[in-house]
Amino acid sequence: MAGNASEIIERLATRQRVLILGGIAVIAHGLSRTTEDADVWLDPMESIEKWCSVVRAELVKGATLLDVSRHREITPGELEEAIDLAGMVRVGGLDRYLDIFYQPNQLDLEDFDAAWQVAHLAIGSARVMDERF
Amino acid sequence: MLKRHTPSKESVWAEWEREKRAAKRRAARGPQYKPRPTPDNSEPWLKHPPRTIEDLFYISDRVAEEAAKWRAMLQKL
């Protein structure tokens, strides 16, 4: 195991704006449920290239990148292409899968700012997606 | 290229209608109405509400354990 998903999220959140989504967001909002992975929306920033360089910088040794749209492992150099296709990347080799979204399904990149502003609940340095989104 | 989500005229209309209904409900409750607080799922697993991502995973894992325990018990019946 290369590391903890929670540590990578926290490190990302100290450098960039990170919104927690999915199952762990539901738990953060006070409901009891299980989740197999962690979903986060990393600030799309000004370009895919910058976004990918931030993700690559936080990868720990032994972590793997998975292109979920083509069901295969990718190299860090192929990250831009995978993000362009799927809008997200799955980080494996950790204690659990970490799905980092560039653009979550049915949301626009421009929605990030609004989602960040209304997200009032913070967990560590990250914020939790509000139920209104 | 990424597929952009563009809301349809119908979905925008439906959302506006939903907001109007919600505003009507809020108005009907009156100013003394107190919204229900966010449920606290830290019990019985944590001594405090979840503060870290590890806390969230901890609750998830405990719920999964509990579900597995109940599933095993029900299978014995």
Q: What is the DSSP string of B20-55?
A: HHHHHHHHHH-TT--PPPPP-TTTTT-SSS--SHHH
Q: How far apart are CA B77 and CA B75, in angstroms?
A: 5
CB spacing of B39 vs A30 below 8 angstroms = yes
The whole-number average pLDDT for the span B35-41 is 67
Residues of A with CB under 8 A from a CB of B: 4-6, 9-10, 20, 23-24, 27-35, 38, 84, 87, 96, 103, 105-108, 123-124, 126
**Pairing between β-strand A88-92 and β-strand A97-101 as defined by DSSP bridges:** antiparallel
Cα–Cα distance list, B41 to A40, A75, A88, A98 (Å): 21, 39, 29, 23
Q: Is B68 on the interface with A (CB under 8 A)?
A: no
pLDDT given for residue A75 in this prediction: 93
B33 confidence band (pLDDT: 50, 70, 90): confident
Helix H or strand E encompassing B68: helix B53-76
Of the partner residues B4, B5, B41, the one whose CB lies closest to the CB of residue A32: B41
The whole-angstrom distance between B77's CA and the closest CA on chain A is 25
Joined tokens for residue B54: 């590890």
**pLDDT higher than threshold 70 for residue B2:** no
Helix H or strand E encompassing A73: strand A72-74
Chain B hits for A27, CB-CB cut-off 8 Å, are: 41, 50, 56, 59-60
pLDDT given for residue B5 in this prediction: 64
The whole-angstrom distance between B25's CA and the closest CA on chain A is 17
**pLDDT higher than threshold 60 for residue B45:** yes
Those residues with Cβ within 8 angstroms of residue A127's Cβ, 6 or more apart along the chain or in another chain:
A17, A18, A19, A20, A116, A119, A120, A121
pLDDT given for residue A95 in this prediction: 92
**pLDDT higher than threshold 90 for residue B29:** no
The reported pTM is 0.78
**pLDDT higher than threshold 70 for residue B38:** no
Give first-to-last CA distance, chain B, whole Å.
54
Q: Which residue ranges of chain A lie beneath pLDDT 70?
A: 1, 132-133
Exposure class string for A18-40: b at 16+ Cβ within 10 A, else e? bbbbbbbbbbbbbebebbebbbb
Closest by alpha carbon to A42, among A12, A22, A14, A64? Answer: A12
pLDDT given for residue A2 in this prediction: 72
Helix H or strand E encompassing B13: helix B9-29
**pLDDT higher than threshold 90 for residue B32:** no
- Positive or negative CA dihedral for A13, A17, A23, A26? positive
**pLDDT higher than threshold 80 for residue B42:** no
B35 confidence band (pLDDT: 50, 70, 90): low
